[in-house]
Amino acid sequence: MIFDQPIKKWFVDDKGKDSNVKSVLKSISWRLVGTMDTIVISYLITGQIKTALSIGSIEVVSKMVLYYFHERAWARITDK
């Protein structure tokens, strides 16, 4: 509980809204889950781990960037 308030400042701005740091961390954690899913599905379809890992590595970068901008757009909408 001692560390609760300093850490909370990383995730919430002065107005109590989600910070950019929180959006970045959420996008990274979600992409890890999503990428594992993509790799498993790709492997089940192709039967080739190298191909599945290649698909997963491309997908993780593109979707993290897209998610970040999606998250920030929604944050702006709810701020108004």
How big is the chain by its Cα radius of gyration, in Å?
17
Does residue 1 carry a pLDDT above 60?
no
pLDDT score recorded for residue 25: 85
Under 8 Å between Cβ of 17 and 23: no
pLDDT score recorded for residue 32: 87
Q: pLDDT band at 18, cuts 50/70/90? A: confident
Cβ-proximal residues to 63 (8 Å cutoff; 6+ apart), any chain: 31, 34, 35
Q: What is the pLDDT of residues 21-68, one digit of tens each?
A: 888 888 788 878 999 999 999 999 999 999 999 999 998 888 878 888
Residue-number span of the structural domain to which 43 is assigned: 18-79
Distance from C-alpha of 35 to C-alpha of 63, rounded to nearest angstrom: 9
First-to-final CA distance of the chain: 32
Distance from C-alpha of 7 to C-alpha of 66, rounded to nearest angstrom: 26
Q: Does 1 fall in a domain?
A: no
Q: Does 34 fall in a domain?
A: yes
Does residue 79 carry a pLDDT above 60?
yes
- Answer yes or no: pTM beyond 0.85: no
